[in-house]
Amino acid sequence: MEAKEVVICKKCILPTTFRDIEFNEDGICSYCTSNKTVAKERNVSPEYKAKCIKEIDEIIESVRGKGQYDCAVGFSGGKDSTYLLWVLKEKYKLNVLAIAVDHGFMPNVTIENINTVPQKLGIDLVTFKINSGFMERFFKYKFYNYKSKAVFDSMCGDCSDILEGSVMRVAASFNIPLVFIGLSPEQVNRYFYEVPYDHINSNWEKEFLNSESFNKNDKLYMWNAKNDSEKKLKVILPFHVWDYSEDEVVKKLEELDLLTVKNSNPLKTRCKILDTMCYVDKHRLGYDGFVAPFSDLIRFGKAPREKYYDLFYGKDYELNMEHVNEVISRLDLDMELILNK
């Protein structure tokens, strides 16, 4: 089955098949002409960002030296969480615990990064591996039952809740009061700068877990704060308010010999499920779901268009079909049914 052909915005990299989009006669998309983001609209002033940065510094000082670890970092093995580990360890001089959640579909390059980066930095690492088959049931259900235009838009948010909730649970078990998540503003729409306390103190269980595809124990993988260590957890996304440049992050990590440019490529470090989601979306809609966050970076001058056009549509685009075929086999997916949905 050939991938669908689409027209690409001449200013960013969004296609004509993207959700809620229009193009003018010059070939510029409505996100660019209105100067809006794909991520949730937020009116964030420089003054508010400065206030948040000051708050981060104050929180760090309030937890420093109170326990074995000052803070935890959700460590995905990618460039942003690697850079975050370095900043907190070397610039803030914190005792950091890196927490990686292995859902069973991580590529070799990511596993390599997770195993080597904390060791290079002298940071302890906890890896929580979900071996029960829950993630297989979750991913299979999502491939067949997504209701959004792109499967990418349906699966990632719920998967993030599972992974981030697991990081938070591990941190709380070590009585660590502060968790950092290394996502940029373009990578998450659900909240800005921090996870609100009312969300931390709510049950993240999803309605679909009541379906016959899941058992009663599967609900226990969803965050549901029970004790004071969990209820009082502070979870911060610092890249939402810190100055952030993707090119500078990649350059710095290579200078520090923490990650090579190759090992920091998001198309190389993304999980095998993401490869498969993007395979589905590329064939059905003509675009890889990762174009959304990177289009925002391009639109606001934080990343070069040519580089990411080539990465998603041109000579540098590479979909790992080994990963795709492995996921199809492991989940026993009917791809003809899914691709024609």
**pLDDT attached to residue 40:** 63
Question: Tell me, what amino acid is at 113?
Answer: N
Which residues does 20 contact at the CB level (< 8 Å), separation at least 6? Answer: none
- pTM of the predicted model as reported, rounded to 2 decimal places: 0.88
Nearest to 128 by CA among 177, 174, 87: 174
Buried b (16+ CB within 10 A) or exposed e, 198-221: eebeeebbbeebeeeebeeebbeb
Residue 52, by phi and psi: left (phi above 0), alpha (psi -120 to 50) or beta? alpha
Residues of the domain holding 129: 1-341
For residue 89, give the 3-state DSSP assignment.
helix
Can you tell me the distance from the alpha carbon of 191 to that of 204, in angstroms, rounded to the nearest whole number?
A: 14
289, 319 Cβ separation under 8 angstroms? no
**pLDDT attached to residue 151:** 86
Burial of 92 (0-12, 13-18, 19+ CB in 10 A): middle
The DSSP letter of residue 221 is G
Q: CATH number of the domain that 275 lies in?
A: 3.40.50.620
9, 34 Cβ separation under 8 angstroms? no
27, 7 Cβ separation under 8 angstroms? yes
Q: How many domains does the chain have?
A: 1
**pLDDT attached to residue 1:** 47
Per-block mean pLDDT, blocks of 10 residues, the chain (341 long): 75 93 96 84 80 96 96 96 98 98 95 96 97 97 88 86 97 97 74 92 95 95 95 95 88 94 81 93 87 86 88 84 96 94 78
Which residues does 208 contact at the CB level (< 8 Å), separation at least 6? Answer: 141, 145, 214
Nearest to 296 by CA among 7, 2, 40: 40
Burial of 301 (0-12, 13-18, 19+ CB in 10 A): exposed
